Amino acid sequence: MDQELNQELATKLMAMPGEARGVVFKTDGDYVIKQAGEEGLKKLEEELTALGCPIDYKKINALSFYPIGLRIISLLAIRKVFSFDDVKIKELGTFASKTSLMVKLFINYFLSINKVFFEEAPKIWRKHYSVGDFTPIELNEEKKYGIIQIKNYQFHPIFCEYLGNYLCGFFQMLIKTSSINFEETKCPFRGDEYHEYTIRWK
């Protein structure tokens, strides 16, 4: 169920438990500036203020904690204000993975794909979100794919596309490949218990 952003939804999302680190808003703000300039960012902030969930993207502390609902509201507001389609939301996911401070802080650990996939990736998730359980399931370097499950994280379908591409961008920093994509094989919004992503590369 992909509900459009309105006052009611915003209130509902803001009431959800859990926190996200300020870095996710930073990457949102940087992407909007890149796509629509400072004017675009201003419009977005006005929309959020109107919804009663103001975000000053420039003053966000990348390492501070913010309500998890605000993370979803930020994405929905961006889609609404700029009429972004799924492609743009995916692009935002890739952009976030490549410019996230959290990812940069983990760069030292990019020694082996196995270590990052099975050990560091769950930690990186937890550095971003206080809710949701990130579980690496399988990594097959020979057949060039990896499977990840995320449980207890079902706020809004918009995050599914965003996250899929975020994971692709993240994988790109581990594997030399010219093409990488994902498939969300399981999704709570389609009746499954959790999200399951299969990342494939060439």
Residue 7 lies near another protein (rule: CB under 8 A): no
Q: Are strands 133-140 and 65-67 parallel, antiparallel or unpaired?
A: unpaired
CB of residue 136 to another protein, shortest distance in Å: 19
Contact 94/27 with Cβ under 8 angstroms?
no
Provide the minimum distance between the beta carbon of 2 and another protein in the complex, in angstroms, as a whole number.
26
CB of 68 to another protein, least distance (A): 11
Which of helix, strand or coil describes residue 19? Answer: strand
Task: Tell which one of 56, 111, 123, 138 touches another protein (CB under 8 A).
Answer: 111
Calpha distance 151→182 (Å, rounded)? 18
**Scanning residues 114 to 143, which ones bind another protein (CB under 8 A)?**
none
Burial of 8 (0-12, 13-18, 19+ CB in 10 A): exposed
Kindly tell me which of 94 and 154 has the beta carbon lying closer to another protein: 94
For another protein, the closer of residues 30 and 45 by Cβ is 30
Exposed, middle or buried, 15 (CB in 10 Å: 0-12/13-18/19+)? exposed
Q: Cα separations (Å) of 53 from 8, 17, 50, 79, 125?
A: 12, 16, 7, 16, 24
Nearer to another protein, 63 or 137 (CB): 63
CA distances to 101, 124, 168 from 58, in Å: 15, 23, 27
Binding to another protein in span 13-72, by CB under 8 A: 19, 22, 34, 61-67
CA atoms within 13 A on the CB side of 100: 27
Least spacing, CB of residue 186 vs another protein, in Å: 26
Among 32, 51, 76, 174, interactor with another protein by CB under 8 A:
174
Per-residue binding string, another protein, 68-97, x by CB under 8 A, is: --------------------------xx-x
Residues near another protein (CB under 8 A) are 19, 22, 34, 61-67, 94-95, 97-99, 101, 104, 107-111, 169, 172-176
